[in-house]
Amino acid sequence: MPDWVEAGYAEYTKRLSHEINVNLIEIKPEKRVGGKPVEQLLQAEAQRIRSVLPPNCHIVVLDERGQQWTTVQFADVINTWMTTGEAIAFVIGGADGLHGDIKRIAHELMALSKLTLPHGLVRVLLAEQIYRAVSINKNHPYHRA
């Protein structure tokens, strides 16, 4: 990832470290060798994603066709998810997206925007929105409605 992605993500996860545990697990994209079809590449990535998901976690897949919430609604949703005590796994696809199997096992499809966004930018935006949601739920002054 470019330095600006690392810096942006680090800033928000540092702020979150006082409130919740955040773990980033990066899956290397499948190499495009020998003209492998995209479906085959995505299937291999899907297997690696499934292998690192925490057991019994709440899976949220980022997809431009997913549910969109306002920031305050997202804070409510995060609060509901957190009350179950399960880990929440946000899954961001690569350049070719995600295999349908990953979308099918998701509990939620979530969109930060209807625009197609690069996955590095999504990482930063998602970290900021999680931080903002947790801040709202903890009555911190970060969010100004």
State the alpha helices, DSSP H only, in the chain.
Answer: 3-16, 38-52, 71-83, 100-105, 119-137
* Contact status, residue 32 vs residue 10, Cβ threshold 8 Å: no
* Amino acid at residue number 90: F
- Report the run of H or E that residue 110 belongs to, with start and end: strand 108-110
The binding site for S-adenosyl-L-methionine consists of 62, 93, 112-117
The binding site consists of 62, 93, 112-117
